[in-house]
Amino acid sequence: MQNVLIVAEQSGGHLRKATLHAIAAGQVLAGRTGGKVHVALLGKDLGGLSTELAGYGVTVHAADSAGLTHYLAEAFAPVVAGIAKEVGAGFVGAAATAFGKDLVPRVAARMGAACATEVLGFGGSGAAVTFQRPMWAGNVLAEVDLTTPVKAFTVRPTEFPAAAKGAAGEVKAVAVADPGALPTRFVEFKEVKSERPELTEARVVVAGGRGTKGDFKPLEELADLLGAAVGASRAAVDAGWVPNDWQVGQTGKVVAPELYVAAGISGAIQHLAGMKGSKVIVAINKDSEAPVFQLADYGLVADLFKAVPELVEKIKAGKGS
C-alpha cells in the first residue's frame, strides 16, 4: 500500500484548476496501490482553501507560513519532501504547469526519486505502475519505469478529468521550520492581466501566428465574442507581438479546448504538440499546402484578415437571430 502526495498550486489563496486534474491522476494511482491521496498546500494566508481542497476527499497538509509567501523551489521543496516522508508517499506529483515543472524535479532529487514529466497516463499492472509520457514533441509515446523506491511525476492536466467533490477529508496543519537564508530571493512578478479565461482552461482558444503580421485585433475580437482565450505560435511570441505566456506548443502551453482556431499558423510539429488534443480544430491559412491543414477538422484557405472578420459578423448575426 503506497500513498500518493499531490502538491497543490495556488496564488493569493486561489486554487489553480490544474491541481484538480493532478488530484484525479493521484486518485487513479491510489486506486492501483490501495493507498490514499494526500495533498500538500503551501503558502501564506491560505484561508478557506484547505477546507475547500479537503472537499475532494483527500487529506490536506497545509503549510501556512510567511516564508512561503512567494513560491521558490528552494523554500517549497524541503516542506513538500517532509510531508511526503511523513505520509509515507510512494508517489509525489503535481500538474505539469510552470510551478510543477520547476518544483517536482527538485523534490524528487531531494528524495532520491526519479521523475517522469508531462505524464499522459499510467500503465503496468496493479501496484507496479509505469508512466506514459510524450517525447520528441509528441511524435513518440514512451512507457517508462521509474526504478527508485519513491517515484515523482508531473501530469498533463488535459489528460485527466478534474477531480470530483467527495466525502470531506481531514485538514492537518504543517509546522514549517525556518529555512534560514535561501540562495534565491523573490523580487517581483509582472503579471499579464487579462479579462479572458486562462489558456489552459478555456473552452475555446483562438490562436495566431506569423501570418497575423503582429495584428492580433481580428483574432481578439473573435475570441471575445466566443469567450475564448488567445494563444500564439512561437513566431508571434518571439517577435514580441504578444506575451510569452500565450505560446502554445512543445515548449509552451498544452491546450485541449473544445474548439481551437489556428489563424496564420503553418502547423510546425512543435506547435501541433500543444494543441492536437483539441476536440475540433479550425485552420485559416492563405497557403493551401500548410501542414496545419492535415490535422484540421475544418480548413479554410483564405486571408485571415478577410475571413476572421467575416466569421465574427456571421456569429454576431447568428446570435441576433
Site residues for another protein, 75-94, by CB under 8 A, read: 77
Residues 183, 257: Cα–Cα separation, whole Å: 39
Length of the chain (residues): 321
205 CB contacts (<8 Å, ≥6 apart)? 199, 228, 229, 230, 231, 248, 255, 257, 259, 260, 261, 275, 278
Rg (CA), the chain: 21
Cβ atoms of 230 and 200 closer than 8 Å: no
Among 140, 178, 320, 321, binds another protein (CB under 8 A): 140
Among 164, 168, 177, 280, binds another protein (CB under 8 A): 280
Q: Which is nearer to ligand FAD, 130 or 305 (CB)?
A: 305
Burial of 165 (0-12, 13-18, 19+ CB in 10 A): exposed
Residues 171, 168: Cα–Cα separation, whole Å: 9
What sign has the CA pseudo-torsion 66, 71, 72, 76? positive
x/- track of binding to ligand FAD for residues 282-301 (CB under 6 A): --xxxx--x-----------
Buried b / exposed e across 91-106, counting CB within 10 Å, b at 16+?
Answer: bbbbbbbebbebbbbb
- The yes or no reply on residue 247 touching ligand FAD (CB under 6 A) is yes
Residues between 38 and 77 with contacts to another protein, criterion CB under 8 A = 72-74, 77
Total residues at the site for ligand FAD (CB under 6 A)? 28
- The yes or no reply on residue 26 touching ligand FAD (CB under 6 A) is no
Residue 19: strand, helix, or coil? helix
Residues between 217 and 256 with contacts to another protein, criterion CB under 8 A = 226, 234, 237-240, 243-245, 250-251, 253
Q: N- to C-terminal Cα distance for the chain?
A: 59
Among 67, 252, 257, 299, binds ligand FAD (CB under 6 A): 252
317 CB contacts (<8 Å, ≥6 apart)? none
Residue in 158, 113, 313, 249 with CA at minimum distance from that of residue 105 = 113
236 binds, among another protein, ligand FAD, none (CB under 5 to 8 A by kind): ligand FAD
- The yes or no reply on residue 209 touching ligand FAD (CB under 6 A) is yes
Q: How far is CA 44 from CA 11, 97, 138, 229, in A?
A: 9, 20, 37, 29
314 CB contacts (<8 Å, ≥6 apart)? none
- The yes or no reply on residue 264 touching ligand FAD (CB under 6 A) is yes
- The yes or no reply on residue 200 touching ligand FAD (CB under 6 A) is no
Residues 179, 170: Cα–Cα separation, whole Å: 27
69 binds, among ligand FAD, another protein, none (CB under 5 to 8 A by kind): none
- The yes or no reply on residue 215 touching another protein (CB under 8 A) is no
Among 188, 195, 289, 320, binds another protein (CB under 8 A): 188
Among 59, 201, 276, 305, binds ligand FAD (CB under 6 A): 305
- The yes or no reply on residue 261 touching ligand FAD (CB under 6 A) is no
Instruction: Please report how close the Cβ of residue 303 comes to ligand FAD at its closest, in angstroms.
Output: 4
Among 77, 266, 281, 282, binds ligand FAD (CB under 6 A): 266
Options 44-52, 54-62, 112-120, 162-170: segment touching another protein (CB under 8 A): 112-120
- The yes or no reply on residue 14 touching another protein (CB under 8 A) is no
Q: Which is nearer to another protein, 170 or 313 (CB)?
A: 313
**What are the residues binding ligand FAD (CB under 6 A)?**
209-211, 233-236, 247-252, 264-266, 268, 270-271, 274, 284-287, 290, 303-305
